[in-house]
């Protein structure tokens, strides 16, 4: 529950009245009212206006905006304004400025630009947040705190370097342990004093790029440290806000599968997850679906907020295509189908200057409501009002889980060998997409989450096995679960140190195999994957593990090269369950078949009974005894979908049986019609 006053899916977005004369505000309220909007995110980039210099504060404009929102019956998602420091601060206290990956000290500019370990930034941040919280703690419009904005990036300044050494001391206790964890005898890197340790960037361990390091252990710890440093900034603000308003939820907007921050660690410190969804024009709908599920998984399935999306167009992709009529509505319901309890936009009114002046908005430069985009926003607003509280707090039920781990992501892509083309998200998405096309909901979970209530757990390229994971999965499989993992899994421990004695390390016994070598295939090269029973041939690419069975059954073997005939897919009976190993990055047909086979075995039926046509997404949310099935048409064409029962579309009250017809970008929310 976002706030006790909330009895529907929230609707609104980022509102920047500080960029406009006050006369415009009333008009903004009038127009957004026509779209049934009820929440505005305000004050995101206002620090320079709230604090014109070191000792002066001016909340007069924010007071007016807060009062206006209340008067207009809107809720405020009140940002703390710390996402960009004022120019005067950078001039007077240059420690707030970041040093970039190349070692260059930045000047004032851009946003999200403060060093997270800068004493001045932290001091000024806490003083501003104290004042904000004290001032608005009882304000009736206040519904939610929005800390900073899209935390991210990294810093390599001297303050960060000092803080890194302290972080290491706390983590490892002694330099001896640090040396061990980083294997510093390699290339004679042994450290004898803490201040010999420097930040890993292009001036030290890296060779031109973020993922190209000589010392994975050092770079990996720096990623963890950088994520923790930003999290400390978040926690500092949150603690102040909680002190003044213990009952108001605190969030900060995430960015989906955003690499620099370990959101799974952050999630424990946040009341409600919110995120900004900006799919690129050609990105598959299933990738966006996966991002939603990743965000829902951060708090073990708790509904999240769609904090931002564009109503029509972005400005920062290379090609900023318009969302086609119906597409914004479709993407909004896609978020809701995956667990969002809000639909919010960036931005309410389109700015006139600087880089976002061509970014879509609810109210365009023309200034009135008679636009295609506004009319679509208004229609959606009415629908969300009509839906009332039906979907609020409803959960998404899933029997399949995919394990996702930020440390693994970092370590995998920092790895020097076996292939530069190995990308974590691509491989995770392959597995996600395979179940998505079966209309089978998936949870994305962390390595720490409980797996007991799932039938199938998949850990794609789980290169790093953290303490306790293998035992947990052994128990899960033993008691009847199906576990699936892939090539290049079980290789290293949490320090990126290889687990010796045969790959896949701690997973070897469970999988009943030994991986002896790994072959990297250059782009365009494949190996055939021949199913031993059916004889069907698929293709594997990217990496091919050369393995020997140690009890596992061979499901498929390689069809060419010197390892022709060696196992390419195995399954191992373990207790009451099975553990599968997929030794290469398989083609879509193989993935499709694998997902279908596993679901059939585990009696996981596609939602609506059958696999839907391509581009049709089916998802479900449940609340008490009610189940809502979403059918989303991502195609530009009309589609027919078979249904298994009689259903009513709760958006239109139309009743269907046997089949439904969806126009391009259509959305249906079906509830079983009990006759
Ligand atoms: C992000 C930010 C917003 C805005 C949008 C533009 O999500 O949070 O302030 O810049 O991008 O797409
Ligand atoms: Zn710094």
Q: Among 18, 42, 150, which residue has the most ligand 1 atoms within 8 Å of its CB, making it the best to mutate? A: 150
pTM (two decimals): 0.98
Please work out whether the CB of residue 45 comes within 6 Å of at least one atom of ligand 1.
no
What does each C-alpha distance from 327 to 210, 333, 343 come to in angstroms?
A: 35, 10, 14
Which of 80, 356, 361 has most ligand 1 atoms within 8 Å of its beta carbon, as the pocket-test mutant? 356
The protein residue whose alpha carbon is closest to atom 10 in ligand 1 is 356
For ligand 1, say whether the CB of 405 is within 6 Å of any of its atoms: no
Phi/psi for 477 (5° steps) reads -70, -45
Alpha carbon distance 365, 357 (integer Å):
9
| Nearest bound ligand to the CA of residue 275 | 1
User: Element (H or E) spanning 597, and its range?
Assistant: helix 588-601
**pLDDT in the model for residue 6:** 86
What distance in Å separates the CA atoms of residue 323 and residue 345, rounded to the nearest whole number?
Answer: 13
Q: Which residues, chain by chain, have CB under 5 Å from ion ligand 2?
A: 115, 117, 155, 157, 159-160
Distance (Å, whole) CA 460 – CA 483: 11
Instruction: Find out whether 490 and 505 touch, Cβ atoms under 8 Å.
Output: yes
**How many angstroms is it from 354 CA to the middle of ligand 2?**
27
Q: Is the CB of 276 under 6 A from ligand 1?
A: yes
CA distance 609 to 305: 29
The CA R_g of the chain, rounded to the nearest whole Å, is: 26
**Which ligand neighbours the alpha carbon of 151 most closely?**
1
Ligand at minimal distance from the CA of 95 is: 2
Residue 103 CA from chain centroid, whole number: 29
Q: What is the pLDDT of residue 612?
A: 85
pLDDT confidence of residue 168: 99
Q: Is 221 in the pocket of ligand 1 (CB under 6 A)?
A: no
Q: Is any ligand 1 atom within 6 A of the Cβ of residue 277? A: no
Give the pLDDT confidence score for residue 2 in this predicted structure.
83
- Output the residue whose Cα is nearest ligand 1's atom 7: 276
Count of CB atoms within 10 A of residue 416's CB? 12
Dist CA 76 CA 96 (whole Å): 29
150 lines ligand 1 (CB under 6 A): yes
Tell me if residue 150 is catalytic: yes
Residue nearest ligand 1's atom 3 by CA: 346
Residue 163 Cα to ligand 2 middle (Å): 9
Alpha carbon 561 to chain centroid distance? 39
DSSP, collapsed to helix, strand or coil, labels residue 515 as strand
- CB neighbour list of residue 200: distance below 8 Å, 6 or more residues apart: 206, 213, 215, 218, 219, 222
Find out whether the beta carbon of 13 lies less than 6 Å from any atom of ligand 1: no
Q: Tell me, in angstroms, the distance from the centre of ligand 2 to residue 203's CA.
A: 15
The answer to whether 478 and 490 have CB atoms below 8 angstroms apart is: no
Distance from the alpha carbon of residue 79 to the mean position of ligand 1, in angstroms: 14
Q: 284 φ, ψ to 5°?
A: -65, 145
Q: Look up 308 and say whether it is catalytic.
A: yes
217-221 contacts: CB < 8 A, separation 24 or more?
Answer: 217/181, 217/182, 217/183, 217/495, 217/496, 217/497, 218/182, 219/410, 219/414, 220/407, 220/410, 220/411, 220/414, 220/495, 220/496, 221/164, 221/167, 221/168, 221/171, 221/181, 221/182
Span from the CA of 116 to the centroid of ligand 2 (angstroms):
6
Sign of torsion over alpha carbons 498, 501, 507, 508: positive
Instruction: Pull the structure tokens for residue 583.
Output: 């030794």
What atom of ligand 1 comes closest to residue 255's alpha carbon?
Answer: 7
Q: Is the CB of 346 under 6 A from ligand 1?
A: yes
- List the Cα angle 439/440/445 in 5-degree steps: 140
Is the CB of 41 inside a 6 Å radius of any atom of ligand 1? no
Q: What are phi and psi of 589, to 5 degrees?
A: -65, -40
Alpha helix segments (H runs only) across 415-454: 424-436
Nearby residues of 197 by Cβ (< 8 Å), 6 or more positions away = 161, 164, 165, 168, 178, 191, 218
| Choice among 205, 308, 383, 427 that is catalytic | 308
In the reported structure, the alpha carbon of residue 378 is separated from the centroid of ligand 1 by a whole-number distance in angstroms of 22
Say if ligand 1 is within 6 A of residue 254 CB.
Answer: no
Mean pLDDT by 10 residues, the chain (675 residues): 87 98 97 98 98 97 98 98 98 98 98 97 98 98 98 98 98 98 98 98 96 97 98 98 98 98 98 97 95 98 98 94 97 98 98 97 98 98 98 97 98 97 98 97 98 98 98 98 98 98 98 98 98 97 98 98 98 98 98 98 94 95 97 98 95 95 98 85
Give the closest ligand to the alpha carbon of residue 14.
1
Is the bond leading into 418 cis (omega within 30 degrees of zero)? Answer: yes
CA–CA dist 515, 165 (Å, integer): 37
Residue 217 Cα to ligand 1 midpoint, Å, equals 33
CA of 162 to the centre of ligand 2 (A): 9
Cis status, amide bond into 638, omega within 30 of 0: no
- Closest of 307, 289, 298 to residue 253, by C-alpha: 307
Q: Is 252 in the pocket of ligand 1 (CB under 6 A)?
A: no
Are the beta carbons of 53 and 87 closer than 8 angstroms? no
**HSE on the CB side for 225, CA within 13 Å?**
26
CA of 83 to the centre of ligand 1 (A): 11
Using CA atoms, how far apart are residues 651 and 655, in angstroms rounded to an integer?
Answer: 11
Contacts of residue 289, Cβ cutoff 8 Å, sequence gap at least 6: 334, 338, 432, 436, 617, 619
DSSP 232-255: HHHHHHHHHHHHH-TTSEEE-EE-
Concatenated DSSP letters for 315-344? SSSSS-PPPPTTHHHHHHHHHHHTTEEEEE
262 lines ligand 1 (CB under 6 A): no
Q: Which listed ligand is nearest to 225 at the C-alpha?
A: 2
DSSP string, 527-582: EEEEETTT--EEEEEEEEEEEEESSPEEEEEE-SSTTTTSEEEEEEEETTEEEEEE
Rounded to the nearest 5°, which phi and psi values hold at 377? -65, -40
| Cα–Cα separations (whole angstroms), residue 30 to 27, 63, 240, 324, 366 | 5, 19, 35, 26, 15
Among all ligands shown, which has an atom nearest to the Cα of 99? 2
Ligand 1 within 6 A of 350 CB?
A: no
What pLDDT sits at residue 520? 98
> CA 321, CA 381: separation in Å to the nearest integer?
23
How remote is the CA of residue 277 from the centroid of ligand 1, in Å? 9
Long-range contacts of 548-555 (CB under 8 A, 24+ apart): 548/513, 548/514, 548/516, 549/512, 549/513, 550/508, 550/512, 550/513, 550/514, 551/512, 552/511, 552/512, 552/513, 552/579, 552/581, 555/531, 555/580
237: Cβ below 6 Å to ligand 1?
no
């Amino acid at each position: 529950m976002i706030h006790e006053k909330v009895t529907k899916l929230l609707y609104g977005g980022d509102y920047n009245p500080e960029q406009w004369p006050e006369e415009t505000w009333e008009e903004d309220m009038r127009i957004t009212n026509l779209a049934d909007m009820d929440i505005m995110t305000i004050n995101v980039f206002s620090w320079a206006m709230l604090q014109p210099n070191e000792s002066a504060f001016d909340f007069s404009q924010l007071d007016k905006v807060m009062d206006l929102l209340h008067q207009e019956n809107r809720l405020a998602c009140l940002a703390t304004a710390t996402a960009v420091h004022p120019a005067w601060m950078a001039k007077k206290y240059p420690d707030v400025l970041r040093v970039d990956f190349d070692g260059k000290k930045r000047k004032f500019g851009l946003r999200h630009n403060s060093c997270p370990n800068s004493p001045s930034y932290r001091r000024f941040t806490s003083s501003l947040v104290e004042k904000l919280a004290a001032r608005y703690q009882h304000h009736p419009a206040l519904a939610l705190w929005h800390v900073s904005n899209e935390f991210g990036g990294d810093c390599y300044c001297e303050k960060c370097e000092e803080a890194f050494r302290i972080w290491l001391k706390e983590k490892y206790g002694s330099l001896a342990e640090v040396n061990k964890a980083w294997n510093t005898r390699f290339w004679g890197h042994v450290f004898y004093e803490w201040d010999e340790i420097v930040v890993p960037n292009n001036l030290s361990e890296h060779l031109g790029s973020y993922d190209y390091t000589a010392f994975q252990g050092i770079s990996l710890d720096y990623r963890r440290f950088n994520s923790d440093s930003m999290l400390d900034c978040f926690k500092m603000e949150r603690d102040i806000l909680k002190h003044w308003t213990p009952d108001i939820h605190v969030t900060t907007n995430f960015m989906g599968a955003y690499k620099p921050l370990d959101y799974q660690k952050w999630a424990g410190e946040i009341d409600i997850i919110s995120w900004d969804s900006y799919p690129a024009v050609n990105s598959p709908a299933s990738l966006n679906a996966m991002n939603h599920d990743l965000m829902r998984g951060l708090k073990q399935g708790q509904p999240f907020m769609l904090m931002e999306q564009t109503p029509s167009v972005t400005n920062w992709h290379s090609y900023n295509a318009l969302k086609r009529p119906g597409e914004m509505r479709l993407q909004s319901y896609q978020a809701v189908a995956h667990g969002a309890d809000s639909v919010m936009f960036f931005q309410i009114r389109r700015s006139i200057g600087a880089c976002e002046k061509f970014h879509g908005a609810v109210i365009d430069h023309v200034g009135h409501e008679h636009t295609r985009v506004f009319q679509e926003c208004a229609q959606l607003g009415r629908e969300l009002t009509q839906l009332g509280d039906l979907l609020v707090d409803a959960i998404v039920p899933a029997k399949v889980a995919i394990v996702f781990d930020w440390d693994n992501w970092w370590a995998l892509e920092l790895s020097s060998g076996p292939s530069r083309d190995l990308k974590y998200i691509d491989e995770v998405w392959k597995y996600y997409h395979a179940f998505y096309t079966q209309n089978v909901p998936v949870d994305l979970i962390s390595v720490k989450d409980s797996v007991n209530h799932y039938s199938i757990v998949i850990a794609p390229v789980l290169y790093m096995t953290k303490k306790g994971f293998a035992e947990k999965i052994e128990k899960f499989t033993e008691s009847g679960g199906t576990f699936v993992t892939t090539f290049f899994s079980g290789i290293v421990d949490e320090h990126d140190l290889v687990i010796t004695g045969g790959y896949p390390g701690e997973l070897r016994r469970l999988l009943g195999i030994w991986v002896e070598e790994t072959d990297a295939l250059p782009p365009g090269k494949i190996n055939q994957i021949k199913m031993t029973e059916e004889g069907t041939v698929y293709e594997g690419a990217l990496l091919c593990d050369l393995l020997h069975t140690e009890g596992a059954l061979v499901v498929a073997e390689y069809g060419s090269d010197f390892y022709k005939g060696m196992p390419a897919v195995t399954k191992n009976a373990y207790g009451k369950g099975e553990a599968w190993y997929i030794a290469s990055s398989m083609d879509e047909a193989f993935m499709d078949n694998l997902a279908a086979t596993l679901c059939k075995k585990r009696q996981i039926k596609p939602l609506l009974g059958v696999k839907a046509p391509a581009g049709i997404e089916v998802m479900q949310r449940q609340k008490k005894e009610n189940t809502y099935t979403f059918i989303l048409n991502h195609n530009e064409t009309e589609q027919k979908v078979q249904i298994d029962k009689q259903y009513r579309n709760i958006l239109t009250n139309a009743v269907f049986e046997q089949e439904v017809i969806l126009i391009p970008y259509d959305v249906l929310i079906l509830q079983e019609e009990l006759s």
